[in-house]
Amino acid sequence: MGKTLARLGLAASGIALWGALLGGCGSAPAASPKTTATVVIGYENNGADPEMVAIAEGFFPKYMKDAKVELRKFDSGPAAEAALASGSLQFMTGLGNPPAAAAISQGVAVQVVWAQEEYTTDEGLVVRKGSGIHSLRDLVGKTIALVVGSTSPFEVDTALSQLGLPASAVTLENMSPPQMVAAWERGQINAAYVWDPAFDTMLRNGGTAIMYDKNVAQQAPIFNLAIVNTNWANGHKALVREFIQAEQAGMAFYKSHPAQAVADMAKEAGISDNLARTELAGFKLYDAQAQLTQSGLGSGSGVKTSLVTVSLSSAAQYLLSTHQVSQTPKDMSVYVNPSYAQYVASHP
Q: What is the pLDDT of residue 5?
A: 33
Q: What is the DSSP string of 237-274?
A: HHHHHHHHHHHHHHHHHHHH-HHHHHHHHHHHHTS-HH
Region 220-246: mean pLDDT is: 96
Secondary element (H or E) of residue 81: helix 77-86
Strand order of the β-sheet with 207-212 is 171-174, 143-146, 191-195, 123-128, 207-212
CB of 344 closer than 8 Å to CB of 244: yes
Using CB atoms within 10 Å of the CB of residue 72, give its burial: 0 to 12 exposed, 13 to 18 middle, 19+ buried: middle
Q: What is the pLDDT of residue 31?
A: 44
Contacts of residue 335, defined as CB under 8 A and 6 or more positions apart, other chains included, come to: 104, 110, 111, 112, 312, 329
Q: What is the pLDDT of residue 230?
A: 96
SS3 (DSSP) at 283: strand
Distance, CA of 27 to CA of 153 (rounded, Å): 50
Q: pLDDT (tens digit, 9 = 90+) per residue, 266-313?
A: 999 888 999 899 999 999 999 999 999 999 999 999 999 999 999 999
- Does the pLDDT at position 27 exceed 70? no
Q: What is the pLDDT of residue 33?
A: 53
Q: What is the pLDDT of residue 13?
A: 32
Q: pLDDT (tens digit, 9 = 90+) per residue, 109-163?
A: 999 999 999 999 999 999 999 999 999 999 999 999 999 988 899 999 999 999 9
pTM of the full structure: 0.83
Q: What is the pLDDT of residue 348?
A: 79
Stretch among 16-20, 186-190, 321-325, 333-337 having the lowest mean pLDDT? 16-20
- Does the pLDDT at position 326 exceed 50? yes
Q: What is the pLDDT of residue 35?
A: 65
Distance, CA of 50 to CA of 47 (rounded, Å): 10
Q: What is the pLDDT of residue 77?
A: 73
Nearest one of 115, 113, 112, 39 to 71, comparing CA atoms = 39
At residue 39, what are phi and psi to the nearest 5 degrees?
-110, 115
CB of 192 closer than 8 Å to CB of 202: yes
Q: What is the pLDDT of residue 94?
A: 92
Q: Indicate the average pLDDT of the chain.
A: 89
Domains in the chain: ranges and CATH: 37-118+221-346 (3.40.190.10), 123-216 (3.40.190.10)
Region 191-220: mean pLDDT is: 94
Stretch among 30-39, 99-108, 242-251, 290-299 having the lowest mean pLDDT? 30-39
- Does the pLDDT at position 23 exceed 80? no
- Does the pLDDT at position 10 exceed 90? no
Distance, CA of 104 to CA of 50 (rounded, Å): 26
Secondary element (H or E) of residue 193: strand 191-195
Whole-angstrom distance between the N-terminal and C-terminal Cα of the chain? 27
Give the whole-number percent of the chain exceeding pLDDT 90: 80
Q: pLDDT (tens digit, 9 = 90+) per residue, 40-99?
A: 999 987 679 999 999 999 999 999 999 999 999 987 777 787 888 888 899 999 999 999
Q: What is the pLDDT of residue 70?
A: 97
